[in-house]
């Protein structure tokens, strides 16, 4: 969740903290599962429903991922005109042996056997590797990769979506500060990434 924390949530919580100055926010990013049921955190955001006894789980938003590449890469290798042409290109992805969650194997939903040029356990590292022209990378729209010089490739035909799930301990859910955070997050996602059909938010 490094990417969504750094490139989306941090900025949003700056807005939240100005509005709710009496609430202190701690934002933890971890590549490992945080156990909300053990009170390691009050709230847990993930790309999968973390179903554990004693927790309430709810979808709070949905976002898309798109294929990106640097102009230097496209100048060298050409811009694909169809999904079938992706087999002629090189890609950036996660280190397969270190992937703990199938939900981040999103590149394989776009191309079955991608030619991987570079791998990293960090989504941020993947993005900046793409800016260097190594290959194409599939990134969430909240990364705002365009501001780092990347451009979308086949945006009309190549995209993947993920739901953002929130887990909260049942005993804490209706505390005023928890209700404020949950309501705020739902509002931000619904504003920035309007809900798509089939996902009931909140």
- Dihedral, CA atoms, 189, 191, 197, 198, nearest 10 degrees? 30
- Reported as a single tens digit per residue, the pLDDT across 47-64 is 888 777 888 999 999 999
Residue 101 near residue 50 (C-beta atoms within 8 A): no
Q: What share of the chain has pLDDT > 90, as a percent?
A: 69
Residue 173 CA to residue 179 CA, distance in Å, equals: 7
Examine the pLDDT at 195 and tell me if it is beyond 80: no
pLDDT, residue 32, reads 58
What does the buried/exposed string (b/e) look like for 96-118 if buried means 16 or more CB atoms within 10 Å of the residue's CB? eeeeeeeebebbeebbeebeeeb
Mean confidence (pLDDT) of the chain: 89
- Reported as a single tens digit per residue, the pLDDT across 69-110 is 999 999 999 999 999 999 999 999 999 887 777 788 999 999
Residue 16 CA to residue 9 CA, distance in Å, equals: 10
pLDDT, residue 101, reads 73
pLDDT, residue 199, reads 55
pLDDT, residue 51, reads 75
Strands (E), the chain: 43-46, 55-70, 90-93, 115-119, 136-140, 150-153, 159-169
Domains of the chain (ranges; CATH) run 2-62+161-192 (3.40.190.10), 64-160 (3.40.190.10)
Q: Which residues contact 143 (CB under 8 A, 6 or more apart)?
A: 3, 7, 123, 127
Predicted structure pTM score: 0.86
Count how many Cα atoms sit within 13 Å of the Cα of residue 60 in the half-sphere of its side chain: 22
Residue 188 CA to residue 129 CA, distance in Å, equals: 29
- Reported as a single tens digit per residue, the pLDDT across 19-38 is 999 999 999 886 556 655 56
CA 157, distance to chain mean position in Å, is 20
Classify 44 as helix, strand or coil: strand
């Amino acid at each position: 969740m490094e990417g969504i924390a750094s490139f989306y949530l941090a900025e949003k919580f700056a807005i939240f903290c100005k509005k709710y100055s009496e609430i202190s926010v701690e934002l933890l990013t971890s590549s490992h599962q945080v156990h909300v049921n053990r009170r390691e955190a009050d709230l847990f955001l993930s790309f999968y429903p973390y179903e554990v006894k004693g927790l309430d789980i709810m979808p709070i938003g949905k976002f898309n991922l798109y294929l990106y590449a640097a102009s230097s890469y496209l100048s060298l290798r050409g811009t694909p005109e169809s999904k079938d042409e992706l087999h002629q290109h090189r890609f950036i992805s996660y280190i397969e042996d270190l992937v703990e969650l199938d939900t981040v194997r999103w590149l394989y939903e776009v191309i079955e056997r991608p030619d991987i040029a570079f791998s990293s356990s960090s989504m941020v590292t993947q993005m900046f590797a793409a800016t260097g022209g190594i290959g194409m990378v599939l990134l969430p729209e909240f990364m705002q990769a365009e501001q780092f010089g990347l451009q979308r490739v086949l945006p009309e035909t190549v995209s993947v979506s993920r739901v953002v799930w929130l887990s909260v301990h049942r005993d804490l859910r209706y505390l005023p500060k928890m209700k404020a955070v949950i309501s705020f997050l739902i509002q931000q996602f619904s504003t920035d990434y309007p809900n798509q059909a089939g996902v009931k938010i909140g």
